[in-house]
Structure 1
Protein backbone atom coordinates (compact mmCIF):
# COMPACT_ATOMS: atom_id res chain seq x y z
CA UNK A 1 0.00 0.00 0.00
CA UNK A 2 2.84 2.34 0.90
CA UNK A 3 4.57 1.82 -2.42
CA UNK A 4 1.29 2.16 -4.25
CA UNK A 5 0.64 5.47 -2.51
CA UNK A 6 4.10 6.70 -3.44
CA UNK A 7 3.58 5.68 -7.05
CA UNK A 8 0.20 7.40 -7.11
CA UNK A 9 1.67 10.61 -5.73
CA UNK A 10 4.57 10.48 -8.19
CA UNK A 11 2.14 9.92 -11.05
CA UNK A 12 0.07 12.87 -9.85
CA UNK A 13 3.13 15.12 -9.78
CA UNK A 14 4.20 14.01 -13.25
CA UNK A 15 0.68 14.54 -14.57
CA UNK A 16 0.53 18.00 -12.98
CA UNK A 17 3.85 18.98 -14.56
CA UNK A 18 2.74 17.67 -17.93
CA UNK A 19 -0.57 19.51 -17.77
CA UNK A 20 1.25 22.69 -16.77
CA UNK A 21 3.62 22.27 -19.69
CA UNK A 22 0.72 21.74 -22.08
CA UNK A 23 -1.05 24.83 -20.80
CA UNK A 24 2.12 26.92 -21.17
CA UNK A 25 2.77 25.57 -24.65
CA UNK A 26 -0.82 26.29 -25.64
CA UNK A 27 -0.52 29.82 -24.28
CA UNK A 28 2.79 30.40 -26.09
CA UNK A 29 1.31 29.04 -29.32
CA UNK A 30 -1.74 31.28 -29.00
CA UNK A 31 0.46 34.33 -28.31
CA UNK A 32 2.68 33.50 -31.29
CA UNK A 33 -0.36 33.04 -33.52
CA UNK A 34 -1.77 36.38 -32.38
CA UNK A 35 1.58 38.04 -33.03
CA UNK A 36 1.72 36.59 -36.55
CA UNK A 37 -1.85 37.72 -37.25
CA UNK A 38 -1.02 41.21 -36.04
CA UNK A 39 2.13 41.36 -38.18
CA UNK A 40 0.22 40.18 -41.24
CA UNK A 41 -2.46 42.80 -40.63
CA UNK A 42 0.23 45.47 -40.34
CA UNK A 43 1.80 44.32 -43.61
CA UNK A 44 -1.56 44.57 -45.37
CA UNK A 45 -2.18 48.06 -44.00
CA UNK A 46 1.33 49.11 -45.04
CA UNK A 47 0.69 47.75 -48.52
CA UNK A 48 -2.54 49.69 -48.91
CA UNK A 49 -0.92 52.88 -47.65
CA UNK A 50 1.92 52.43 -50.12
CA UNK A 51 -0.27 51.51 -53.10
CA UNK A 52 -2.91 54.18 -52.63
CA UNK A 53 -2.12 56.94 -50.13
CA UNK A 54 1.51 57.58 -51.07
CA UNK A 55 0.70 57.47 -54.77
CA UNK A 56 -2.18 59.94 -54.33
CA UNK A 57 0.00 62.31 -52.31
CA UNK A 58 2.75 62.09 -54.94
CA UNK A 59 0.18 62.97 -57.62
CA UNK A 60 -0.91 66.01 -55.58
CA UNK A 61 2.70 67.22 -55.30
CA UNK A 62 3.22 66.85 -59.05
CA UNK A 63 -0.05 68.60 -59.91
CA UNK A 64 0.72 71.51 -57.59
CA UNK A 65 4.21 71.85 -59.08
CA UNK A 66 2.65 72.00 -62.56
CA UNK A 67 0.10 74.61 -61.45
CA UNK A 68 2.79 76.68 -59.78
CA UNK A 69 4.84 76.92 -62.97
CA UNK A 70 1.83 78.35 -64.79
CA UNK A 71 0.71 80.90 -62.19
CA UNK A 72 2.21 84.40 -62.57
CA UNK A 73 0.82 85.75 -59.28
CA UNK A 74 3.35 85.58 -56.44
CA UNK A 75 0.71 85.40 -53.68
CA UNK A 76 -0.95 82.43 -55.36
CA UNK A 77 2.42 80.72 -55.78
CA UNK A 78 3.05 81.08 -52.05
CA UNK A 79 -0.29 79.46 -51.31
CA UNK A 80 0.51 76.63 -53.71
CA UNK A 81 3.87 76.23 -51.96
CA UNK A 82 1.98 75.72 -48.72
CA UNK A 83 -0.24 73.07 -50.33
CA UNK A 84 2.81 71.33 -51.81
CA UNK A 85 4.77 71.39 -48.55
CA UNK A 86 1.75 70.05 -46.67
CA UNK A 87 1.45 67.14 -49.11
CA UNK A 88 5.20 66.46 -48.95
CA UNK A 89 5.07 66.45 -45.16
CA UNK A 90 2.10 64.05 -45.19
CA UNK A 91 3.94 61.85 -47.67
CA UNK A 92 7.02 61.66 -45.45
CA UNK A 93 4.97 60.77 -42.38
CA UNK A 94 3.00 58.17 -44.32
CA UNK A 95 6.25 56.54 -45.42
CA UNK A 96 7.43 56.56 -41.81
CA UNK A 97 4.21 54.81 -40.78
CA UNK A 98 4.75 52.24 -43.51
CA UNK A 99 8.29 51.57 -42.29
CA UNK A 100 7.02 51.23 -38.72
CA UNK A 101 4.27 48.81 -39.73
CA UNK A 102 6.71 46.68 -41.70
CA UNK A 103 9.47 46.73 -39.08
CA UNK A 104 10.30 43.63 -37.08
CA UNK A 105 12.50 44.81 -34.21
CA UNK A 106 15.51 42.64 -33.50
CA UNK A 107 18.55 43.24 -31.27
CA UNK A 108 20.67 43.84 -34.37
CA UNK A 109 18.24 46.49 -35.63
CA UNK A 110 18.13 48.14 -32.22
CA UNK A 111 21.92 48.28 -32.16
CA UNK A 112 21.95 49.77 -35.65
CA UNK A 113 19.40 52.38 -34.58
CA UNK A 114 21.57 53.37 -31.66
CA UNK A 115 24.57 53.67 -33.95
CA UNK A 116 22.75 56.12 -36.23
CA UNK A 117 21.03 58.14 -33.50
CA UNK A 118 22.97 61.31 -34.32
CA UNK A 119 21.93 61.10 -37.96
CA UNK A 120 18.32 60.63 -36.86
CA UNK A 121 18.67 63.64 -34.56
CA UNK A 122 19.86 65.83 -37.43
CA UNK A 123 17.02 64.58 -39.64
CA UNK A 124 14.52 65.36 -36.88
CA UNK A 125 15.86 68.91 -36.61
CA UNK A 126 15.53 69.43 -40.37
CA UNK A 127 12.01 68.03 -40.40
CA UNK A 128 10.97 70.29 -37.53
CA UNK A 129 12.47 73.30 -39.29
CA UNK A 130 10.46 72.52 -42.44
CA UNK A 131 7.32 72.02 -40.37
CA UNK A 132 7.76 75.35 -38.60
CA UNK A 133 8.46 77.20 -41.87
CA UNK A 134 5.36 75.72 -43.51
CA UNK A 135 3.15 76.50 -40.52
CA UNK A 136 4.42 80.08 -40.35
CA UNK A 137 3.64 80.57 -44.04
CA UNK A 138 0.16 79.21 -43.49
CA UNK A 139 -0.49 81.66 -40.65
CA UNK A 140 1.03 84.49 -42.70
CA UNK A 141 -1.40 83.70 -45.52
CA UNK A 142 -4.17 84.03 -42.92
CA UNK A 143 -2.87 87.48 -41.98
CA UNK A 144 -1.17 86.42 -38.74
CA UNK A 145 2.31 87.46 -37.67
CA UNK A 146 4.49 86.15 -34.86
CA UNK A 147 7.85 84.87 -33.72
CA UNK A 148 9.18 81.32 -33.51
CA UNK A 149 12.38 80.83 -31.52
CA UNK A 150 14.30 77.55 -31.64
CA UNK A 151 17.16 76.92 -29.22
CA UNK A 152 19.49 73.96 -29.62
CA UNK A 153 18.77 70.76 -31.51
CA UNK A 154 17.37 67.34 -30.63
CA UNK A 155 19.63 65.27 -28.42
CA UNK A 156 21.00 62.05 -29.89
CA UNK A 157 19.03 60.12 -27.27
CA UNK A 158 15.66 61.32 -28.60
CA UNK A 159 13.68 58.34 -29.85
CA UNK A 160 11.70 58.29 -33.09
CA UNK A 161 8.51 58.11 -31.01
CA UNK A 162 9.39 61.29 -29.11
CA UNK A 163 10.41 63.09 -32.32
CA UNK A 164 7.15 62.11 -34.04
CA UNK A 165 5.15 63.29 -31.02
CA UNK A 166 7.03 66.58 -31.11
CA UNK A 167 6.35 67.11 -34.83
CA UNK A 168 2.65 66.37 -34.46
CA UNK A 169 2.30 68.63 -31.45
CA UNK A 170 3.93 71.56 -33.25
CA UNK A 171 1.63 71.16 -36.26
CA UNK A 172 -1.45 70.94 -34.06
CA UNK A 173 -0.28 73.91 -32.01
CA UNK A 174 0.04 76.15 -35.06
CA UNK A 175 -3.35 74.98 -36.26
CA UNK A 176 -4.80 75.88 -32.86
CA UNK A 177 -3.26 79.36 -33.08
CA UNK A 178 -4.79 79.83 -36.53
CA UNK A 179 -8.24 78.71 -35.37
CA UNK A 180 -8.44 80.58 -32.07
CA UNK A 181 -5.72 83.26 -32.06
CA UNK A 182 -6.35 86.97 -32.48
CA UNK A 183 -5.18 87.69 -36.03
CA UNK A 184 -4.47 91.30 -35.14
CA UNK A 185 -1.96 90.44 -32.42
CA UNK A 186 1.35 88.55 -32.70
CA UNK A 187 1.83 85.02 -31.43
CA UNK A 188 4.94 83.57 -29.81
CA UNK A 189 6.25 79.98 -30.00
CA UNK A 190 9.50 78.83 -28.41
CA UNK A 191 11.09 75.41 -28.94
CA UNK A 192 14.12 74.34 -26.95
CA UNK A 193 16.04 71.15 -26.20
CA UNK A 194 17.71 69.99 -23.02
CA UNK A 195 19.71 66.85 -22.49
CA UNK A 196 16.60 65.04 -21.27
CA UNK A 197 13.63 66.50 -23.13
CA UNK A 198 12.20 68.81 -25.77
CA UNK A 199 10.24 71.84 -24.59
CA UNK A 200 7.49 73.68 -26.48
CA UNK A 201 6.12 76.95 -25.12
CA UNK A 202 3.61 79.35 -26.60
CA UNK A 203 1.60 82.39 -25.67
CA UNK A 204 -0.96 84.06 -27.88
CA UNK A 205 -3.95 86.33 -27.68
CA UNK A 206 -7.37 84.74 -28.15
CA UNK A 207 -9.85 86.42 -30.41
CA UNK A 208 -13.30 87.24 -29.13
CA UNK A 209 -15.81 84.64 -30.27
CA UNK A 210 -18.57 87.23 -30.27
CA UNK A 211 -22.13 87.17 -28.94
CA UNK A 212 -20.84 87.20 -25.38
CA UNK A 213 -19.10 83.81 -25.77
CA UNK A 214 -15.45 83.78 -24.79
CA UNK A 215 -12.97 81.44 -26.47
CA UNK A 216 -11.30 80.37 -23.22
CA UNK A 217 -11.35 76.69 -24.17
CA UNK A 218 -9.07 77.25 -27.17
CA UNK A 219 -6.55 74.69 -26.01
CA UNK A 220 -9.10 72.01 -25.15
CA UNK A 221 -11.62 72.08 -27.96
CA UNK A 222 -9.25 70.74 -30.59
CA UNK A 223 -6.80 67.95 -31.30
CA UNK A 224 -4.58 69.37 -28.55
CA UNK A 225 -6.72 67.46 -26.07
CA UNK A 226 -5.56 64.22 -27.69
CA UNK A 227 -1.94 65.40 -27.71
CA UNK A 228 -2.16 66.13 -24.00
CA UNK A 229 -3.05 62.48 -23.40
CA UNK A 230 -0.21 61.32 -25.66
CA UNK A 231 2.34 63.56 -23.95
CA UNK A 232 1.30 62.42 -20.48
CA UNK A 233 1.38 58.76 -21.54
CA UNK A 234 4.90 59.39 -22.80
CA UNK A 235 5.87 60.59 -19.34
CA UNK A 236 5.86 64.28 -20.26
CA UNK A 237 4.30 67.32 -18.60
CA UNK A 238 1.57 69.64 -19.86
CA UNK A 239 0.94 73.00 -18.22
CA UNK A 240 -1.51 75.50 -19.65
CA UNK A 241 -3.47 78.49 -18.50
CA UNK A 242 -6.21 80.39 -20.22
CA UNK A 243 -7.88 83.69 -19.46
CA UNK A 244 -10.50 85.51 -21.45
CA UNK A 245 -7.92 87.07 -23.78
CA UNK A 246 -4.69 85.03 -23.51
CA UNK A 247 -3.65 81.39 -23.69
CA UNK A 248 -0.27 80.00 -22.63
CA UNK A 249 1.14 76.48 -22.84
CA UNK A 250 4.34 74.71 -21.80
CA UNK A 251 4.96 71.09 -22.79
CA UNK A 252 7.95 68.91 -21.96
CA UNK A 253 8.48 65.71 -23.96
CA UNK A 254 11.16 63.31 -22.62
CA UNK A 255 13.69 62.07 -25.17
CA UNK A 256 12.98 58.50 -24.10
CA UNK A 257 9.96 56.84 -22.54
CA UNK A 258 10.54 56.68 -18.75
CA UNK A 259 10.36 53.25 -17.10
CA UNK A 260 7.26 54.16 -15.10
CA UNK A 261 5.39 55.33 -18.20
CA UNK A 262 6.53 52.24 -20.09
CA UNK A 263 5.27 49.95 -17.32
CA UNK A 264 1.94 51.80 -17.21
CA UNK A 265 1.58 51.45 -20.97
CA UNK A 266 2.10 47.69 -20.80
CA UNK A 267 -0.35 47.47 -17.89
CA UNK A 268 -3.01 49.15 -20.05
CA UNK A 269 -2.28 46.78 -22.94
CA UNK A 270 -2.57 43.82 -20.62
Structure 2
Protein backbone atom coordinates (compact mmCIF):
# COMPACT_ATOMS: atom_id res chain seq x y z
CA UNK A 1 0.00 0.00 0.00
CA UNK A 2 2.78 2.46 0.95
CA UNK A 3 4.70 1.53 -2.19
CA UNK A 4 1.73 2.47 -4.39
CA UNK A 5 1.27 5.73 -2.52
CA UNK A 6 4.90 6.56 -3.32
CA UNK A 7 4.35 5.59 -6.96
CA UNK A 8 1.30 7.85 -7.14
CA UNK A 9 3.27 10.69 -5.51
CA UNK A 10 6.14 10.31 -8.00
CA UNK A 11 3.73 10.22 -10.95
CA UNK A 12 1.98 13.33 -9.63
CA UNK A 13 5.26 15.29 -9.38
CA UNK A 14 6.27 14.06 -12.82
CA UNK A 15 2.92 15.16 -14.23
CA UNK A 16 3.31 18.65 -12.75
CA UNK A 17 6.78 18.92 -14.30
CA UNK A 18 5.44 17.70 -17.64
CA UNK A 19 2.70 20.34 -17.67
CA UNK A 20 5.21 23.05 -16.77
CA UNK A 21 7.80 21.94 -19.35
CA UNK A 22 6.19 20.17 -22.32
CA UNK A 23 8.38 17.79 -24.28
CA UNK A 24 9.90 19.35 -27.40
CA UNK A 25 9.95 16.69 -30.06
CA UNK A 26 9.35 12.97 -30.39
CA UNK A 27 12.43 11.76 -28.51
CA UNK A 28 11.73 13.73 -25.28
CA UNK A 29 8.11 12.52 -25.47
CA UNK A 30 9.20 8.88 -25.75
CA UNK A 31 11.64 9.29 -22.84
CA UNK A 32 8.90 10.88 -20.70
CA UNK A 33 6.46 8.04 -21.45
CA UNK A 34 9.08 5.34 -20.78
CA UNK A 35 9.99 7.11 -17.54
CA UNK A 36 6.35 6.99 -16.37
CA UNK A 37 6.06 3.33 -17.37
CA UNK A 38 9.22 2.57 -15.38
CA UNK A 39 7.73 4.31 -12.33
CA UNK A 40 4.68 2.05 -12.51
CA UNK A 41 6.94 -0.99 -13.02
CA UNK A 42 8.82 -0.11 -9.83
CA UNK A 43 5.53 -0.43 -7.95
CA UNK A 44 4.73 -3.81 -9.51
CA UNK A 45 8.17 -5.47 -9.58
CA UNK A 46 10.77 -3.33 -7.75
CA UNK A 47 13.89 -4.98 -9.17
CA UNK A 48 12.76 -5.09 -12.80
CA UNK A 49 11.26 -1.60 -12.53
CA UNK A 50 14.55 -0.23 -11.16
CA UNK A 51 16.47 -1.86 -14.01
CA UNK A 52 14.03 -0.26 -16.48
CA UNK A 53 14.60 3.12 -14.87
CA UNK A 54 18.37 2.66 -15.21
CA UNK A 55 17.97 1.85 -18.91
CA UNK A 56 15.96 5.03 -19.44
CA UNK A 57 18.69 7.06 -17.73
CA UNK A 58 21.33 5.25 -19.77
CA UNK A 59 19.55 6.31 -22.96
CA UNK A 60 19.66 9.92 -21.75
CA UNK A 61 23.46 9.66 -21.49
CA UNK A 62 23.64 9.46 -25.29
CA UNK A 63 21.01 12.05 -26.15
CA UNK A 64 19.70 14.47 -23.55
CA UNK A 65 15.99 15.24 -24.11
CA UNK A 66 14.92 18.85 -24.30
CA UNK A 67 11.86 19.65 -22.25
CA UNK A 68 9.64 17.07 -20.63
CA UNK A 69 9.30 16.17 -16.96
CA UNK A 70 12.18 15.91 -14.52
CA UNK A 71 13.35 12.32 -14.14
CA UNK A 72 14.60 12.95 -10.61
CA UNK A 73 11.38 11.77 -8.93
CA UNK A 74 11.27 8.43 -10.69
CA UNK A 75 14.98 7.80 -10.18
CA UNK A 76 14.72 8.53 -6.46
CA UNK A 77 11.63 6.33 -6.15
CA UNK A 78 13.33 3.37 -7.85
CA UNK A 79 16.52 3.83 -5.84
CA UNK A 80 14.69 4.05 -2.50
CA UNK A 81 12.42 1.07 -3.17
CA UNK A 82 15.33 -0.99 -4.52
CA UNK A 83 17.34 -0.26 -1.36
CA UNK A 84 14.34 -1.26 0.77
CA UNK A 85 13.68 -4.45 -1.23
CA UNK A 86 17.31 -5.61 -1.16
CA UNK A 87 18.01 -4.47 2.38
CA UNK A 88 21.81 -4.45 1.99
CA UNK A 89 24.49 -1.77 2.06
CA UNK A 90 25.86 -3.17 -1.19
CA UNK A 91 22.55 -2.45 -2.94
CA UNK A 92 22.58 1.14 -1.63
CA UNK A 93 26.17 1.77 -2.72
CA UNK A 94 25.79 0.04 -6.09
CA UNK A 95 22.49 1.72 -6.99
CA UNK A 96 23.62 5.19 -5.91
CA UNK A 97 26.97 4.75 -7.70
CA UNK A 98 25.32 3.74 -11.00
CA UNK A 99 22.99 6.73 -10.98
CA UNK A 100 25.78 9.05 -9.86
CA UNK A 101 28.00 7.81 -12.70
CA UNK A 102 25.23 8.42 -15.25
CA UNK A 103 24.57 11.88 -13.80
CA UNK A 104 28.28 12.74 -14.08
CA UNK A 105 28.32 11.39 -17.64
CA UNK A 106 25.33 13.53 -18.61
CA UNK A 107 26.94 16.58 -16.95
CA UNK A 108 30.16 16.04 -18.90
CA UNK A 109 28.42 15.54 -22.24
CA UNK A 110 25.64 18.13 -22.00
CA UNK A 111 27.10 20.87 -19.78
CA UNK A 112 26.20 24.29 -21.13
CA UNK A 113 23.35 23.06 -23.33
CA UNK A 114 20.68 24.49 -21.04
CA UNK A 115 19.32 21.08 -20.04
CA UNK A 116 17.88 20.91 -16.53
CA UNK A 117 20.44 19.97 -13.89
CA UNK A 118 23.35 20.02 -16.34
CA UNK A 119 25.57 22.19 -14.15
CA UNK A 120 27.89 21.35 -11.31
CA UNK A 121 25.78 22.63 -8.36
CA UNK A 122 22.66 20.99 -9.81
CA UNK A 123 24.44 17.67 -10.32
CA UNK A 124 25.86 17.72 -6.77
CA UNK A 125 22.37 18.34 -5.41
CA UNK A 126 20.86 15.55 -7.51
CA UNK A 127 23.53 13.01 -6.48
CA UNK A 128 23.22 13.98 -2.79
CA UNK A 129 19.44 13.75 -2.97
CA UNK A 130 19.58 10.30 -4.60
CA UNK A 131 22.05 9.04 -1.98
CA UNK A 132 19.82 10.37 0.82
CA UNK A 133 16.77 8.57 -0.62
CA UNK A 134 18.76 5.33 -0.96
CA UNK A 135 19.85 5.56 2.68
CA UNK A 136 16.27 6.26 3.74
CA UNK A 137 15.08 3.15 1.92
CA UNK A 138 17.75 1.06 3.61
CA UNK A 139 16.95 2.59 7.02
CA UNK A 140 13.24 1.81 6.67
CA UNK A 141 14.16 -1.77 5.78
CA UNK A 142 16.23 -2.09 8.97
CA UNK A 143 13.35 -0.70 11.02
CA UNK A 144 10.87 -3.04 9.33
CA UNK A 145 13.12 -6.06 9.90
CA UNK A 146 13.51 -5.10 13.54
CA UNK A 147 9.74 -4.93 14.08
CA UNK A 148 9.23 -8.22 12.25
CA UNK A 149 11.89 -9.83 14.38
CA UNK A 150 10.18 -8.61 17.53
CA UNK A 151 6.84 -9.97 16.29
CA UNK A 152 8.40 -13.36 15.50
CA UNK A 153 10.06 -13.46 18.91
CA UNK A 154 6.75 -12.58 20.58
CA UNK A 155 4.89 -15.27 18.62
CA UNK A 156 7.60 -17.81 19.42
CA UNK A 157 7.43 -16.94 23.12
CA UNK A 158 3.64 -17.32 23.11
CA UNK A 159 3.91 -20.70 21.39
CA UNK A 160 6.48 -21.89 23.91
CA UNK A 161 4.25 -20.82 26.79
CA UNK A 162 1.33 -22.55 25.09
CA UNK A 163 3.29 -25.76 24.65
CA UNK A 164 4.43 -25.62 28.28
CA UNK A 165 0.82 -25.22 29.36
CA UNK A 166 -0.19 -28.17 27.20
CA UNK A 167 2.60 -30.27 28.69
CA UNK A 168 1.38 -29.40 32.17
CA UNK A 169 -2.13 -30.47 31.21
CA UNK A 170 -0.83 -33.75 29.84
CA UNK A 171 1.21 -34.36 32.99
CA UNK A 172 -1.84 -33.64 35.14
CA UNK A 173 -3.88 -36.07 33.08
CA UNK A 174 -1.20 -38.74 33.38
CA UNK A 175 -0.87 -38.32 37.13
CA UNK A 176 -4.65 -38.37 37.58
CA UNK A 177 -4.89 -41.57 35.62
CA UNK A 178 -1.88 -43.29 37.22
CA UNK A 179 -2.62 -42.43 40.86
CA UNK A 180 -6.42 -42.26 40.92
CA UNK A 181 -7.73 -44.55 38.21
CA UNK A 182 -5.77 -47.54 39.50
CA UNK A 183 -7.24 -47.09 42.97
CA UNK A 184 -10.76 -46.84 41.61
CA UNK A 185 -10.19 -49.90 39.44
CA UNK A 186 -9.02 -51.86 42.50
CA UNK A 187 -12.14 -50.81 44.43
CA UNK A 188 -14.34 -52.01 41.57
CA UNK A 189 -12.51 -55.32 41.37
CA UNK A 190 -12.77 -55.90 45.15
CA UNK A 191 -16.48 -55.12 45.20
CA UNK A 192 -17.07 -57.47 42.29
CA UNK A 193 -15.16 -60.27 44.07
CA UNK A 194 -16.58 -59.80 47.57
CA UNK A 195 -20.12 -58.61 46.94
CA UNK A 196 -23.10 -60.68 48.00
CA UNK A 197 -26.50 -60.61 46.32
CA UNK A 198 -28.03 -58.76 49.28
CA UNK A 199 -25.11 -56.44 50.05
CA UNK A 200 -26.66 -53.13 49.00
CA UNK A 201 -23.76 -51.11 50.39
CA UNK A 202 -21.22 -53.01 48.29
CA UNK A 203 -23.32 -52.47 45.17
CA UNK A 204 -23.55 -48.76 45.94
CA UNK A 205 -19.77 -48.54 46.40
CA UNK A 206 -19.26 -50.46 43.17
CA UNK A 207 -21.60 -48.15 41.23
CA UNK A 208 -20.08 -45.00 42.69
CA UNK A 209 -16.51 -46.14 41.96
CA UNK A 210 -17.37 -47.09 38.38
CA UNK A 211 -19.13 -43.77 37.83
CA UNK A 212 -16.11 -41.92 39.26
CA UNK A 213 -13.76 -43.90 37.01
CA UNK A 214 -15.86 -43.12 33.93
CA UNK A 215 -15.97 -39.45 34.86
CA UNK A 216 -12.18 -39.42 35.41
CA UNK A 217 -11.61 -40.90 31.96
CA UNK A 218 -13.94 -38.31 30.44
CA UNK A 219 -11.97 -35.50 32.11
CA UNK A 220 -8.69 -36.97 30.90
CA UNK A 221 -10.05 -37.24 27.37
CA UNK A 222 -10.93 -33.53 27.41
CA UNK A 223 -7.48 -32.60 28.69
CA UNK A 224 -5.77 -34.86 26.19
CA UNK A 225 -7.65 -33.38 23.27
CA UNK A 226 -7.60 -29.73 24.33
CA UNK A 227 -4.25 -29.07 22.68
CA UNK A 228 -5.73 -29.85 19.25
CA UNK A 229 -7.98 -26.81 19.44
CA UNK A 230 -5.07 -24.41 18.93
CA UNK A 231 -4.01 -24.04 15.30
CA UNK A 232 -0.33 -24.46 14.49
CA UNK A 233 0.98 -21.09 13.29
CA UNK A 234 3.59 -20.43 10.78
CA UNK A 235 4.25 -20.05 7.03
CA UNK A 236 5.27 -23.66 6.22
CA UNK A 237 4.17 -26.93 7.76
CA UNK A 238 7.71 -28.28 8.10
CA UNK A 239 8.81 -25.12 9.93
CA UNK A 240 5.84 -25.39 12.29
CA UNK A 241 6.63 -29.00 13.14
CA UNK A 242 10.35 -28.25 13.46
CA UNK A 243 9.57 -25.54 16.02
CA UNK A 244 7.36 -27.95 17.98
CA UNK A 245 10.14 -30.54 18.05
CA UNK A 246 12.72 -27.92 19.08
CA UNK A 247 10.59 -26.78 22.03
CA UNK A 248 10.06 -30.34 23.27
CA UNK A 249 13.71 -31.28 22.68
CA UNK A 250 14.82 -28.40 24.88
CA UNK A 251 12.33 -29.40 27.57
CA UNK A 252 13.54 -33.02 27.56
CA UNK A 253 17.17 -31.87 27.64
CA UNK A 254 16.50 -30.17 30.97
CA UNK A 255 15.33 -33.58 32.25
CA UNK A 256 18.59 -35.22 31.21
CA UNK A 257 17.19 -36.90 28.08
CA UNK A 258 19.06 -36.72 24.82
CA UNK A 259 17.78 -36.94 21.27
CA UNK A 260 16.44 -34.85 18.45
CA UNK A 261 13.32 -34.43 16.40
CA UNK A 262 13.92 -34.04 12.66
CA UNK A 263 11.49 -32.94 9.94
CA UNK A 264 12.04 -33.92 6.31
CA UNK A 265 9.99 -32.39 3.51
CA UNK A 266 9.86 -34.69 0.49
CA UNK A 267 7.14 -32.61 -1.12
CA UNK A 268 3.42 -32.33 -0.45
CA UNK A 269 1.16 -32.74 -3.46
CA UNK A 270 -1.85 -31.07 -1.84
CA UNK A 271 -2.39 -28.30 0.69
CA UNK A 272 -2.82 -29.87 4.15
CA UNK A 273 -5.98 -29.24 6.15
CA UNK A 274 -5.43 -27.22 9.34
CA UNK A 275 -7.26 -29.73 11.56
CA UNK A 276 -5.00 -32.54 10.33
CA UNK A 277 -1.90 -30.47 11.13
CA UNK A 278 -3.30 -29.79 14.59
CA UNK A 279 -3.91 -33.50 15.09
CA UNK A 280 -0.36 -34.35 14.02
CA UNK A 281 1.09 -31.64 16.28
CA UNK A 282 -0.92 -32.95 19.23
CA UNK A 283 0.25 -36.51 18.55
CA UNK A 284 3.86 -35.35 18.47
CA UNK A 285 3.33 -33.63 21.82
CA UNK A 286 1.84 -36.85 23.25
CA UNK A 287 4.83 -38.87 22.05
CA UNK A 288 7.23 -36.38 23.60
CA UNK A 289 5.30 -36.61 26.87
CA UNK A 290 5.69 -40.39 26.88
CA UNK A 291 9.40 -39.99 26.19
CA UNK A 292 9.69 -37.79 29.26
CA UNK A 293 7.85 -40.35 31.39
CA UNK A 294 9.35 -43.64 30.25
CA UNK A 295 12.57 -43.07 28.27
CA UNK A 296 15.98 -44.33 29.37
CA UNK A 297 18.32 -41.37 29.84
CA UNK A 298 21.29 -43.45 28.68
CA UNK A 299 19.78 -44.15 25.24
CA UNK A 300 19.09 -41.25 22.84
CA UNK A 301 15.51 -41.01 21.63
CA UNK A 302 14.57 -40.42 17.99
CA UNK A 303 11.66 -38.55 16.46
CA UNK A 304 11.63 -38.59 12.65
CA UNK A 305 8.85 -36.72 10.83
CA UNK A 306 8.48 -36.91 7.06
CA UNK A 307 6.12 -34.95 4.82
CA UNK A 308 5.36 -36.60 1.49
CA UNK A 309 2.52 -36.66 -1.04
CA UNK A 310 -0.55 -35.95 1.14
CA UNK A 311 0.64 -37.68 4.30
CA UNK A 312 2.69 -37.03 7.40
CA UNK A 313 4.77 -39.98 8.64
CA UNK A 314 6.21 -40.30 12.14
CA UNK A 315 8.76 -42.85 13.34
CA UNK A 316 9.65 -42.56 17.03
CA UNK A 317 11.92 -44.80 19.11
CA UNK A 318 13.51 -44.67 22.55
CA UNK A 319 14.90 -46.93 25.19
CA UNK A 320 12.66 -47.71 28.16
CA UNK A 321 13.98 -47.01 31.63
CA UNK A 322 14.40 -50.18 33.70
CA UNK A 323 12.00 -48.93 36.36
CA UNK A 324 9.28 -48.36 33.74
CA UNK A 325 9.49 -51.56 31.71
CA UNK A 326 6.58 -53.21 33.49
CA UNK A 327 4.30 -50.17 33.26
CA UNK A 328 4.84 -48.59 29.83
CA UNK A 329 1.96 -49.25 27.46
CA UNK A 330 1.11 -46.01 25.66
CA UNK A 331 -1.79 -45.26 28.02
CA UNK A 332 -5.19 -43.90 27.12
CA UNK A 333 -3.61 -40.90 25.37
CA UNK A 334 -2.18 -42.85 22.46
CA UNK A 335 -5.27 -45.05 22.39
CA UNK A 336 -7.39 -41.95 21.84
CA UNK A 337 -5.10 -40.72 19.07
CA UNK A 338 -5.10 -44.18 17.48
CA UNK A 339 -8.90 -44.03 17.25
CA UNK A 340 -8.89 -40.54 15.80
CA UNK A 341 -6.21 -41.35 13.23
CA UNK A 342 -7.91 -44.61 12.28
CA UNK A 343 -11.13 -42.65 11.76
CA UNK A 344 -9.41 -40.56 9.02
CA UNK A 345 -7.93 -43.69 7.37
CA UNK A 346 -4.53 -43.31 9.02
CA UNK A 347 -2.29 -45.61 11.04
CA UNK A 348 -0.91 -45.43 14.58
CA UNK A 349 0.96 -48.46 15.88
CA UNK A 350 3.22 -48.69 18.93
CA UNK A 351 4.82 -51.50 20.91
CA UNK A 352 7.36 -51.90 23.74
CA UNK A 353 9.75 -54.77 23.04
CA UNK A 354 12.85 -55.93 24.91
CA UNK A 355 13.49 -52.61 26.60
CA UNK A 356 12.77 -50.48 23.54
CA UNK A 357 9.76 -48.45 22.48
CA UNK A 358 8.79 -48.11 18.82
CA UNK A 359 5.96 -46.07 17.36
CA UNK A 360 4.84 -45.54 13.77
CA UNK A 361 2.16 -43.13 12.57
CA UNK A 362 0.80 -42.24 9.14
CA UNK A 363 -1.51 -39.23 9.24
CA UNK A 364 -3.43 -38.21 6.08
CA UNK A 365 -3.23 -34.43 5.70
CA UNK A 366 -6.25 -34.17 3.41
CA UNK A 367 -9.71 -35.71 3.41
CA UNK A 368 -9.47 -38.20 0.55
CA UNK A 369 -12.93 -39.63 1.26
CA UNK A 370 -14.56 -36.30 0.41
CA UNK A 371 -13.01 -36.39 -3.08
CA UNK A 372 -14.42 -39.86 -3.69
Q: Which TM-score applies when normalising by structure 2?
A: 0.37
Structure with bigger RCO (C-alpha 8 Å, 6+ apart): 1
Greater C-alpha radius of gyration: 2
TM-score, normalised with respect to structure 1:
0.50
